[in-house]
Amino acid sequence: MSVLPYVVAVWICLVGLYGIVTSRHLLHTIICVSVVQSSTYVLLLAVGYRQGGVAPVFVDIPHTTPAVDPVVQALTLTDVVVGGAVTALLLAIAVQIEKHLHTLDPDELDPLRD
């Protein structure tokens, strides 16, 4: 088992966090949130990967065939859905902010302005 996928997962997470911290545009912030979330997909799939394993569909292969872990794939799918819901909601909020304030630059938004 290679450590590379774990390194990649951590790297994606950190890159996304760096993006959020330094973001100068809310759309960019939201995309970076997606990037951070996607790091977990890599991590989950890496956790369940088995060298030489096949897809975990046992219809026409013996039950003893080494296969990758289907549980993490289910988790990843669920996580993709959760991430999609969060991103959609964030984008909807950003659209409304743009409509009201005609800007998405965080410096031009005063949090308590009504």
Q: Which of 51, 52, 59, 114 binds another protein (CB under 8 A)?
A: 114
| Backbone torsion region of residue 102, taken as left when φ is above 0, otherwise alpha when ψ lies between -120 and 50, otherwise beta | left
* Helix segments in the chain, DSSP class H: 4-22, 26-48, 70-101
Name residues contacting another protein, limited to 41-70 (CB under 8 A).
43-44, 47
Residue placing its CB nearer to another protein in the complex, 61 or 89: 89
Q: Which stretch binds another protein (CB under 8 A): 20-28, 50-58, 60-68?
A: 20-28
Q: Which is nearer to another protein, 61 or 71 (CB)?
A: 71
80: which 2 tokens? 């993709």
Q: Is 79 in the site for another protein (CB under 8 A)?
A: yes
Beta bridge partners of 54: 67
Local structure of 54: helix, strand or coil: strand
Q: Which tokens in the block code for residue 76?
A: 């990843």
CB 86 within 8 A of CB 37: yes
Residue ranges in contact with another protein by CB under 8 A: 9, 13, 17, 20-23, 26, 29-30, 33, 36-37, 39-40, 43-44, 47, 71-72, 75, 78-79, 82, 85-86, 89-90, 93-94, 96-97, 100-101, 106-107, 109-114
